[in-house]
Amino acid sequence: MQLGAFSVSLAVKDLQISKAFYEKLGFTKFAGDGEHYLIMKNGETLIGLFQGMFEDNILTFNPGWDQSANNLESFTDVRELQKQLKDQGIEFNRQADETTQGPENFVITDPDGNVILVDQHR
């Protein structure tokens, strides 16, 4: 099962303080509006910093993207991933609309309460 690019999405209290901290660890701004969220990158490692957008940290996968947000030539659509997980008995917090095409997402929670977002942008 290929889930695409991986990042940790962190719910931060102060975006600028968090940005300064992660810059000290060698991360640089990769994307984001700088007001509500930033995507920081260090090599192939991605961290999303999100202020006021959600309560808990989230593990995020992006089908169709590599670690630099480049489109992959071939990838498994989020709806197919959802079907495969349903077939394995995974329960969903939010399901992707299987009647659509293009951007869509689903959310699941692992046995320890960690939220996992599978978010396809194309």
User: Which homologous superfamily is 5-120 in?
Assistant: 2,3-Dihydroxybiphenyl 1,2-Dioxygenase, domain 1 (3.10.180.10)
Alpha carbon distances (Å) from 48 to 18, 28, 39, 54, 103:
10, 11, 4, 12, 19
pLDDT digits (tens, 9 = 90+) for 31-77: 999 999 999 999 999 999 999 999 999 999 999 999 999 999 999 99
**Which pLDDT value is given to residue 1?**
87
List the chain domain ranges.
5-120
Calculate the average pLDDT of the chain.
Answer: 96
Cβ-contact 115, 59 below 8 angstroms: yes
Backbone angles phi, psi at 40, to 5 degrees: -110, 145
Question: At residue 86, does pLDDT exceed 90?
Answer: yes
| Number of neighbours of residue 59 by Cβ within 10 angstroms | 16
pTM, whole model, 2 decimals?
Answer: 0.90
Structure-block tokens of residue 7: 């990042």
